[in-house]
Amino acid sequence: MKKVVILISGRGSNMQALLEAKLPCEIVAVISNRADATGLDIAKAHGIATAVVSHREHADRTAFDMALAQVIDGFRADLVVLAGFMRILTTPFVERYRGKLINIHPSLLPSYTGVNTHERALHDGVKIHGCTVHFVTPTLDGGPIIIQAAVPVLRGDTPASLSARVLREEHRIYPQALRWLCREQVWLDTAGRVAGNRLEQPGVALISPGLN
């Protein structure tokens, strides 16, 4: 059974969804860069080991990433899952866990990398928005895509209402992505592309606004 370490910076609602999903893996630890992250208490309540590696206690990102990697490796992790981990990771760290490091992002990548994704989607008037689980590469939010979920953008949406609708889908697709990885149904091939035998559904479409 694969061992998984989850990295958080705050409450970690996606972390909680993973903990409650009864996945075919062992979540061995939750690590935060902030000692006051409320997600640490949630992890403890589930009987999961926790650790804090504070970025404020290291001179630069390289030093922080080295310390973080040492803690991760202490748990002998097979997979490292970012769940609201608000730190940009250095290239050596990302390459250390190539094919083993995944993230969830609140947009349909490659659109809207970075922050404020819901505000930007509303500003641009897109009709379909969503979320993406992807392998992490040195390019921010640019790694190979594992799974995406799309939601309609409604006429009266605010960033908060759109965020809530997307978050519900995040809690569905992140456990699915990790389940595939733990069962070795999805992997990163030698060319840096996602390969696997996951379910595909030809002909399924989301159209927004709907057709009459």
In the residue annotation, 55 being an active-site residue is answered as no
Neighbouring CB atoms inside 10 A of 137's CB total 18
User: Do 121 and 159 form a contact (C-beta atoms < 8 A)?
Assistant: no
Phi, psi dihedral angles at 196 (to 5 degrees): 160, 180
55, 105, 129, 134: the catalytic one is: 105
Backbone dihedral region for residue 203 (phi beyond 0: left; psi -120 to 50: alpha; all else: beta):
left
Backbone dihedral region for residue 120 (phi beyond 0: left; psi -120 to 50: alpha; all else: beta):
alpha
How many residues in total does the chain contain? Answer: 212
Catalytic positions, written as ranges: 105
